[in-house]
Structure 1
Amino acid sequence: MLSTRRLRPSKNKPKLPDGVRIYAMTDIHGCAHLLKQMLRVIDADLARSRPRYAIEVYMGDYVDRGPDSRSTLDILIDRSRRGNTIFLKGNHEVFLGNVLRDPSLLTDWLRVGGLYTLMSYGLAPSPTPGDEERQHLVQAFARAMPRQHLEFLRKLRLTFTCGDFFFVHAGVRPGVPLAEQQETDLLWIREEFLKSRQNFGKYIVHGHTPVRSPELLENRANIDTGAYATGNLTLMTMQGSSMLAV
């Protein structure tokens, strides 16, 4: 059952430009069935609220861990044809790309959920593939991936900014201007960012580190609720200075 929480920082509320409504999701991790559910929520809300300009922001980790990475990418690619979508890169997309370039990384990828991605493309690797099997698996994976999937992954962005909001997969490094952030931090950072209470210059909306329920602080919002493990994929809606999580 869906639950709704209205989220409000205690002070210095970030704002979007007038007429802009943003829908944000992150860390879908192959949970195509949950993604479909949230897209129905978005479409119903759009029909009801009729914003002047709506933007959908997806903040990475579309693949691995969950049961159907292939369908997840199909759904997102179809959604991209609407023209109001922003797709950011997550660390799991980087891992996938690295494996395609270097099959020796396959075993490490399998440990972080890559097995489920391979299975969604019709492959069945052994638990501990040897060098020859790794090479054959990666070649078969590359052949199994539709061209549109590879192109979608190639075009992923690192960040998106609108009004007072800054969208990113993992977070930012404290003390470094947003325009000077390094890709490694944007995709992987945890403790230094999560423990910081400083003003980053924008209000950071991110995922990467699962939390039990959407986490709102004065300087950031974490909306990764561990969809593949909990069955809870959070959708965050923003307009003006109001934020709502479903």
Structure 2
Amino acid sequence: MLIVRSLLFNVAFYANLVLWLVLLFPGLLVPPRVFMQGVKLWGRSSLWLLRVIVGTKIEIRGREKIPPGGALVAAKHQSFHETFTLVTILDDPTYILKRELMWIPLFGWYLWKAGCVPVDRKAGSLALVQMTARAKEEARHGRQIIIFPEGTRRPPGAPPAYKYGVAHLYQNLGFPCIPVALNTGLYWPRRQFIRRPGTVVIEVLDPIPPGLPREDFFKEVQERIEEASDRLLAEGQRELGLVPSSPSEASLSKAG
């Protein structure tokens, strides 16, 4: 049944995505904040499909910790799940993302309309300057700038691989940073079509106020996100019956 439900969900998910790509097209003519309301509806419809077809619910913890106005949101990245879920829980979010995504027909137009901040990875230090300028402009308009500090999806329990882009943004934006921990990769594994029933947890952690030295912030944001994500990983493993039976297995799980 897990395979059947996963297959049904994937078909429904991508059919729903295509439907919203069509429905959102007129949104290119409205203000960005209005357009983002349509994107939020797509995100909520995807979560509804996941709950109804697979039985995967979601619990958002710490929502009350999100400060009003502009902020930098540094989130753990394990799955495609959080890329649309975070949009539904933030007031006016946008993303730091690789520039190539903006070139995709139709989809790239929507990313442009949403005010996403592209990064040209081939531009070296100039890319950081351009990214920071755009992100600062969006944050000044009260938007939450979402960045995945590791740059790509990492499997649950994998050793952290944070990049300094998040510290550069924090140092130059002058806004609080909201760390986000999660265990989505257990229920929506990367590069797999399997979707597991249970309760995904996304936890908003205490904001880090602006003004910390760069290295202190870089260490702090990693420690907070990793400690909380490890706790949520263990919680999810218990729910799914994946708890290692011996310390040696636990070490292997953490390494891999």
TM-score between both structures, scaled by the size of structure 2: 0.28
Higher share of residues assigned helix: 2
TM-score between both structures, scaled by the size of structure 1: 0.29
